[in-house]
């Protein structure tokens, strides 16, 4: 696995999120992905649970901007630091997020393991 493959995955994932295209975001994930919305809870039980996390994004967020940096990677995993600003539509509250993704990406460019840590202010 080379850095470019992880960068391509992260760009596609973050750009689809920015565009509020949750179906395209889901397309970056393998259907059998082990998906942790946060590090202390169990992973999603199935892809339907992952879908339920993402299918509300277009309704509750807007004005998204982001940047990311790959901090470390090897054949098995990649650590990505990401920052985002967004506005929550129901409250018109602007948020700043700083987070970490730990991901594994298969040869087809789909994420098979996803865990995130994030701080929102």
**Where do the DSSP E strands lie in the chain?**
29-36, 61-73, 78-88, 93-105, 111-120
Q: How far apart are CA 14 and CA 38, in angstroms?
A: 17
pLDDT at 63: 96
Q: Which CATH number fits domain 3-120: 3.10.450.50, 3.40.1010.10, 3.40.50.300, 1.10.3720.10?
A: 3.10.450.50
pLDDT at 2: 83
pLDDT in tens, 97-114: 999 999 999 999 999 999
pTM over 0.85: yes
pLDDT in tens, 11-30: 999 999 999 999 999 999 99
pLDDT in tens, 19-71: 999 999 999 999 999 999 999 999 999 999 999 999 999 899 999 999 999 99
Domain ranges across the chain: 3-120
Q: How far apart are CA 43 and CA 51, in angstroms?
A: 13
């Amino acid at each position: 696995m080379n850095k470019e493959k992880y960068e391509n995955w992260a760009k596609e994932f973050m750009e689809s999120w920015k565009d509020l295209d949750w179906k395209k975001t889901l397309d970056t994930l393998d259907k059998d992905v082990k998906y942790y919305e946060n590090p202390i809870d169990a992973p999603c039980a199935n892809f339907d649970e992952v879908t339920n996390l993402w299918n509300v994004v277009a309704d509750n967020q807007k004005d998204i901007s982001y940047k990311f940096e790959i901090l470390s990677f090897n054949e098995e995993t990649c650590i990505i630091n990401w920052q985002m600003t967004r506005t929550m539509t129901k409250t018109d509250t602007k948020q700043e997020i700083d987070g970490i993704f730990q991901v594994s990406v298969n040869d087809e460019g789909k994420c098979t393991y996803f865990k995130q840590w994030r701080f929102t202010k």
